[in-house]
């Protein structure tokens, strides 16, 4: 027993920080920095736009309290608190939801290319949302009256859930997920959901078409406190659930059998993960349409930085996803001001080349 002990202290003496394979400290630091980044982008998002309230005045006004004699003029306060604040809050929620869903799904499928947008889950959620918009005044009328503002996010959730379960059933055999099958099945499911959506768009009337267009652009424009209230609870619930999946997802990285050997209730954990992803994506799609690539870019970047440990990857993804979406929204608002670009276009502009870059790096490694 003495010999290994001596050897151990020898290693400890030679150990250089970071070279011992322990990225815990680094991950904690990165998460702290990402928290600060999110606070900064949040303020920036409140201050940027046609009105000239500066970051500093907005911050001062928020600190001095909503009721007190703030630093903002009455007009600016309306702009900041009733227009920009719900938009920024929605941006944070959706960015976090997209990035965390991406990370959870990649852990679940044991594959860095699984992304709700790529494998048809967003399309399925979209079909659910479109059904409510188009059929909400007709056959689905009772559903809308019963569920109120939650009808849209819940329908999107249902669509996303159905697609995720189908995808999982098709792509996974005996605990092994085939990448090729997953991506191809995702394309098929996405196309099928798209076809059904197309039929619905075809039968929609003019008013519904206008709603659909606004919704389908993939934008945070038109964010209201009502939308925050509709999507918020589902997304927050999913975000709260995700850290509890971290340990299980880490185990799953070694395969389902090994995860089971490590004491993880694999089947139950997979069900929770699927519901979490479907919930977050459904709610996000319901209020903002399809915003692509956040779910694949953010976790991938973070894995390069802090490693694949989900205990850190999931919270870091939430923070970076939120920050990136706020930044993308700011770009979307500023670049063609006074008009604005749908945010989905901005994320695709940056995300698509990034995705190609991942593919190039992994060429030969992926068993496609």
Binding site for other proteins (CB under 8 A): 4, 7-8, 11-12, 18-23, 110-112, 247, 250-251, 253-255, 257-258, 260-266, 303, 307-309
Alpha-helical regions (H) of 289-309: 294-306
Tell me 150's DSSP state: G
Helix (H, G, I), strand (E, B) or coil at 178: coil
Choice between 35 and 255, CB closer to other proteins: 255
Query: Could you tell me the smallest distance in angstroms from the CB atom of residue 120 to other proteins?
Result: 21
Tell me 80's DSSP state: I
Asked if 179 contacts 367 with a C-beta cutoff of 8 angstroms, the reply is: yes
Structure tokens at 309: 């440990």
Choice between 213 and 258, CB closer to other proteins: 258
Query: Could you tell me the smallest distance in angstroms from the CB atom of residue 106 to other proteins?
Result: 8
Query: Could you tell me the smallest distance in angstroms from the CB atom of residue 245 to other proteins?
Result: 13
Q: What contacts 276, CB < 8 A, 6 or more positions away?
A: 101, 104, 238, 241, 242, 245
> How deeply is 55 buried, as exposed, middle or buried, from its count of CB atoms within 10 A (0-12, 13-18, 19+)?
middle
Query: Could you tell me the smallest distance in angstroms from the CB atom of residue 298 to other proteins?
Result: 15
Choice between 66 and 360, CB closer to other proteins: 360
Query: Could you tell me the smallest distance in angstroms from the CB atom of residue 297 to other proteins?
Result: 16
> How deeply is 356 buried, as exposed, middle or buried, from its count of CB atoms within 10 A (0-12, 13-18, 19+)?
exposed
> For residues 231 and 227, what is the distance between their CA atoms, to the nearest angstrom?
6
Choice between 20 and 82, CB closer to other proteins: 20
Choice between 257 and 335, CB closer to other proteins: 257
Query: Could you tell me the smallest distance in angstroms from the CB atom of residue 258 to other proteins?
Result: 6
Choice between 171 and 341, CB closer to other proteins: 171
Asked if 294 contacts 324 with a C-beta cutoff of 8 angstroms, the reply is: yes
């Amino acid at each position: 027993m003495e010999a290994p002990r001596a050897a151990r202290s020898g290693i400890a003496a030679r150990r250089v920080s970071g070279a011992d394979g322990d990225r815990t400290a680094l991950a904690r630091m990165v998460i702290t920095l990402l928290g600060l980044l999110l606070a900064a982008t949040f303020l920036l998002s409140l201050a940027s736009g046609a009105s000239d309230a500066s970051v500093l005045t907005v911050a001062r006004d928020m600190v001095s309290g909503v009721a007190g004699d703030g630093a903002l003029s009455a007009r600016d306060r309306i702009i900041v608190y009733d227009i920009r604040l719900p938009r920024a809050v929605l941006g944070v929620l959706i960015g976090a939801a997209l990035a965390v869903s991406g990370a959870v799904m990649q852990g679940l499928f044991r594959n860095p290319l699984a992304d709700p947008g790529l494998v048809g889950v967003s399309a399925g959620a979209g079909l659910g949302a479109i059904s409510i918009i188009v059929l909400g005044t007709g056959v689905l009328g009772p559903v809308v009256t019963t569920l109120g503002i939650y009808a849209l996010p819940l329908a999107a959730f249902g669509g996303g859930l159905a697609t995720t379960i189908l995808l999982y059933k098709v792509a996974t055999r005996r605990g092994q997920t085939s990448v090729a099958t997953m991506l191809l099945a995702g394309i098929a499911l996405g196309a099928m959901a798209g076809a059904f959506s197309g039929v619905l768009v075809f039968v929609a009337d003019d008013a519904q078409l206008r709603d659909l267009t606004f919704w389908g652009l993939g934008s945070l424009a038109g964010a209201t406190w009502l939308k925050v209230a509709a999507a918020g609870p589902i997304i927050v619930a999913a975000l709260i659930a995700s850290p509890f999946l971290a340990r299980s997802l880490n185990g799953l990285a070694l395969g389902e059998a090994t995860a089971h050997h490590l004491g993880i209730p694999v089947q139950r954990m997979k069900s929770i993960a699927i519901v979490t992803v479907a919930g977050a994506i459904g709610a996000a799609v319901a209020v903002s349409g399809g915003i692509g690539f956040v779910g694949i870019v953010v976790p991938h970047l973070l894995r390069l930085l802090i490693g694949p440990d989900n205990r850190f990857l999931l919270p870091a993804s939430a923070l970076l996803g939120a920050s990136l979406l706020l930044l993308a929204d700011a770009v979307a608002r500023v670049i063609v001001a006074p008009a604005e670009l749908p945010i989905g276009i901005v994320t695709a502009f940056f995300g698509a080349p990034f995705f190609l870059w991942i593919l190039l790096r992994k060429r030969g490694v992926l068993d496609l």
